Amino acid sequence: MKNIPSDIPGTLGRLPLFQELASEQIAAVAAGVREKRLGRGEMLFQKGDPARGFFVILNGQIKLAFPSAQGNEKVVEILGPRQSFGEAVMFMDRPYPVFAEALTEATLLFIDQTVVYDLLKRDASFARKLLAGLSRRLHGLVHDVESYSLRSSVQRVIGYLLQHCPEDTGGKGVVELTLPTSKQVIASRLNLTPETLSRVFHDLTERGLIQVSGKVVSIVNVNSLREFDL
């Protein structure tokens, strides 16, 4: 790890966790931030490693997953730029319950727990605003659990595709998406088997809603796909 440029306060201020903080509070956090670079396939931490802080992704993708004795894994999250992870475990003072692996080359920020703890002791408003950010993150996680547990396999896949659509598509015309990782990893993230994911892609293709070529998924009409999701 090494010191990083001074534009980091702006990056931190856009995170949901820190959106409620004042500029001077963000600057105090940024003063204790360090950079970490990972190559594709490199492990950031293993399950059971001590959590001495949390991470923010500047670029690249990180996979959080549970290992299994059979050699399989259950993907918990696939995270990208401007997303953070590890906060809750840090505050609980427990080891990481998952492992973190770089799916691509990645650059992250490491925020040491001592920096956060020191601010919590010195600044009561920092504690209140940080709780607001954590609550917002928890709300998002609950929504994810609901989406991937209660919805059908088709709804999960459509929701995933729509989530990765550019916001300025207008809803019409063909939109091409490049899947951020392998179909096996995406299936695990959606709590599906790879076979089920392939079957859903096939069914949506047969209905004329998408076209699939390797890792490129072409949505024929975003509005039609969204309406099919209802």
51: helix, coil or strand?
A: coil
Q: Mean pLDDT highest for which of 43-52, 72-81, 132-141, 147-156? A: 43-52
The pLDDT of residue 1 is above 50: no
The whole-number average pLDDT for the span 175-196 is 88
The pTM for the full model equals 0.72
59: helix, coil or strand?
A: strand
36: helix, coil or strand?
A: strand
| pLDDT in the model for residue 140 | 62
Q: What tokens were used for 3? A: 């010191």
Q: What tokens were used for 174? A: 């063909």
Tally helices (H) and strands (E) across the chain: 9, 11
| pLDDT in the model for residue 55 | 93
C-alpha 80: how far from chain center: 5
| pLDDT in the model for residue 61 | 93
| Cβ-Cβ contacts under 8 Å for 26 (sequence gap 6 or more) | 9, 12, 13, 18
DSSP class of 85 = E
| pLDDT in the model for residue 137 | 66
Q: What share of the chain is helix, strand, coil (3-state, %, to 5)?
A: 45, 25, 35
| Residue 59 and residue 51 in contact, taking contact as beta carbons nearer than 8 Å | no
The whole-number average pLDDT for the span 11-35 is 85
| Residue 75 and residue 113 in contact, taking contact as beta carbons nearer than 8 Å | no
Render pLDDT for 83-103 as a digit per residue (tens, 0 to 9).
888 888 888 888 999 999 999
Residue with tokens 């956090």: 29
111: helix, coil or strand?
A: strand
The pairing of beta strand 73-79 with beta strand 106-112? unpaired
The pLDDT of residue 6 is above 70: no
Task: Name the CA radius of gyration of the chain, rounded.
Answer: 19
Q: Report which residue type is found at 96.
A: Y
| pLDDT band with cut points at 50, 70 and 90 for residue 3 | very low
| pLDDT in the model for residue 166 | 74
| pLDDT in the model for residue 73 | 83
The pLDDT of residue 63 is above 90: yes
5: helix, coil or strand?
A: coil
Render pLDDT for 132-169 as a digit per residue (tens, 0 to 9).
777 766 666 666 666 666 578 898 899 889 888 876 65
